[in-house]
Amino acid sequence: MGRLVVVSNRIADPRKTAAGGLAVALAEVLNNTGGMWFGWSGKIVDHSEVDDVHLEHAGPVKLAMVDLSKADHDAFYLGYSNGVLWPVFHYRLDLADFDAGYIAGYRRVNQLFARKLLPLLREDDVIWVHDYHLIPLAAELRALGCTQRIGFFLHIPLPPPLMLAAIPGHDWLIRALFAYDLVGFQSESDLDHFARYVESEAHAQRLEDQRWRAFGRTVHAGAFPIGIDVQEFEQLAAGAEATDMYERMKREYYRRKLLVGVDRLDYSKGLPQRMRAFREFLAKNPELRSSATLIQIASPSRENVEAYTDILHELESLCGSINGNFGELDWMPVRYIHRTVPRARLPGLYKASRVALVTPLRDGMNLVAKEFLAAQDEEDPGVLVLSRFAGAAEQLKEALLVNPYDTEGTATAILLALQMPLEERRERHQALMRSVRQYDVHWWCESFLGALAEARAEEKGTSWL
């Protein structure tokens, strides 16, 4: 394989220990190929200063970063990416803000990325573009004459055709996917939505080997469910910070079973629904009340997008009313923490918890579910309560699968999870870990890049714009 060039909106510096599994896994491949990571620097500058590409070396990996002007950042990132694509792709048409100016900003930033990236490319580079911020990047690169192999991976779900069709300009967006050689999704259901959309809306012809032909090009598409770096996580779990966290939690909660939720504070994660289910559980099981505590960590996220402040207030008010109504002098049912937990401590928290509540309303994959499993003591493991609407549910069938909109059903699952006998916990955990280990982040990288190496759309130079 030639040099790997990863492109994503944000760059995770592979030298920083805080970087998660994805950054670590990509850094490994980048290190091996002496690759380059291209993306936004995280800096917002005056329009006149958007100019050079900043280059840094992180070992053998080259980091190439561009700044954005405020207008571009607002329209591209806050506007189109997080005000249109994120809600619609998570089935929340009601939260989408279809401001006509956003799409122009989205296009401008993708053009800027293409213009700045092109001169840095070598003939035999393989380019891997990540996520919904950069859907049209390959089309913009092709328009400038780029002929290298380009793959795209969507980390979030792809909604069904009629929901996609609600986005003004949806045909332009999906047509842009045909500029890639390979398009990867998290789950079979996302792939199915893609197939149905392109066949019905774009009259694409389905060829063998998961290839679709439309707009004079053939694109390969497939499901490549992302995994975690199990080894890295096990090492973290054995480290001093995780051990300290585990021991502190065990000391503090020695009389109670812990339930844990760890999420970005995002409306897709189903946090109010989770709290209502926990409230229902408390109301229905008074004898169990003071034996369980729910720790909910919700890290601040996209706070300058309006829908995120609404969800923050809703969650705060629910937690407050649950504690007010059910709490005792020596017991609070919910501990809600609006902060990010340092990554090195997470495995300790997971291991000390009997139950994880991973109940998004929609999620591309959800790595917290896999991390929770990897952190468990296999002799005495905890139970995963998992939303059927997380991409992870296609793989993690031995979890207690729930419909997060069904408050009573989720409350019943919480009860079952807290009371599950040891033998059943072990059996389920063993089966789940087989899948987590087999489909880890290295499998994901290798299978995507392997498929990209074989997928080569024949046509070049099609006019894209």
Name the site residues for ligand ADQ (rule: CB under 6 A).
20, 155-156, 226, 262-264, 297, 299, 340-341, 346, 363-368, 371
- Please measure the distance between the N-terminal and C-terminal CA atoms of the chain and give it in whole angstroms: 30
CB of 327 to ligand ADQ, least distance (A): 23
CB of 241 to ligand ADQ, least distance (A): 13
CB of 447 to ligand ADQ, least distance (A): 14
CB-based contacts of 419: which residues, under 8 Å, 6+ apart?
A: none
Q: 220, 363, 429, 440: which one is catalytic? A: 363
Which CA distances in Å does 413 have to 203, 274, 284?
Answer: 43, 11, 13
Task: Give the C-alpha separation, 65 to 55, whole Å.
Answer: 7
Which CA distances in Å does 170 have to 34, 98, 194, 217, 279?
Answer: 36, 12, 12, 18, 40
363 is an active site residue: yes
Task: Give the C-alpha separation, 124 to 121, whole Å.
Answer: 8
CB of 375 to ligand ADQ, least distance (A): 10
Q: Which C-beta is closer to ligand ADQ: that of 84 or that of 282?
A: 84
Residue 331 contacts residue 348 (beta carbons within 8 Å): no
Q: Which C-beta is closer to ligand ADQ: that of 323 or that of 340?
A: 340
The strand pairing partners of 66, in sequence order, are: 40
CB of 284 to ligand ADQ, least distance (A): 28
Task: Give the C-alpha separation, 311 to 325, whole Å.
Answer: 21
Task: Give the C-alpha separation, 256 to 383, whole Å.
Answer: 15
Stated as kind and residue range, the H or E segment containing 213 is strand 211-214
CB of 242 to ligand ADQ, least distance (A): 13
Phi, psi of 292 (to 5 degrees): -140, 140
Task: Give the C-alpha separation, 184 to 224, whole Å.
Answer: 6
> What is the residue type of 374?
A
Q: Which C-beta is closer to ligand ADQ: that of 332 or that of 341?
A: 341
CB of 369 to ligand ADQ, least distance (A): 8
Phi, psi of 284 (to 5 degrees): -85, -20
193 is an active site residue: no
Q: How many alpha carbons lie under 13 Å from residue 226 in its C-beta half-sphere?
A: 27
Task: Give the C-alpha separation, 211 to 218, whole Å.
Answer: 6
Q: Which C-beta is closer to ligand ADQ: that of 80 or that of 372?
A: 372
**Number of Cβ atoms within 10 Å of the Cβ of 4:** 23
> DSSP strand E in 97-142: where?
126-130
Q: 155, 170, 338, 442: which one is catalytic? A: 155
Question: Where would I find the H helices in 146-291?
Answer: 161-164, 170-177, 188-201, 230-238, 240-252, 271-284
Q: Which C-beta is closer to ligand ADQ: that of 74 or that of 190?
A: 190
Q: Which C-beta is closer to ligand ADQ: that of 156 or that of 294?
A: 156
Q: Which C-beta is closer to ligand ADQ: that of 198 or that of 298?
A: 298
Q: Which C-beta is closer to ligand ADQ: that of 353 or that of 366?
A: 366
Q: Which C-beta is closer to ligand ADQ: that of 146 or that of 259?
A: 259
Given its phi and psi angles, is residue 261 left (phi above 0), alpha (psi -120 to 50 degrees) or beta?
Answer: beta
CB of 437 to ligand ADQ, least distance (A): 17
CB-based contacts of 65: which residues, under 8 Å, 6+ apart?
A: 11, 38, 39, 40, 41, 42, 53, 54, 55, 56
Residue 88 contacts residue 163 (beta carbons within 8 Å): yes
CB of 441 to ligand ADQ, least distance (A): 9
Residues labelled as active-site residues = 155, 363
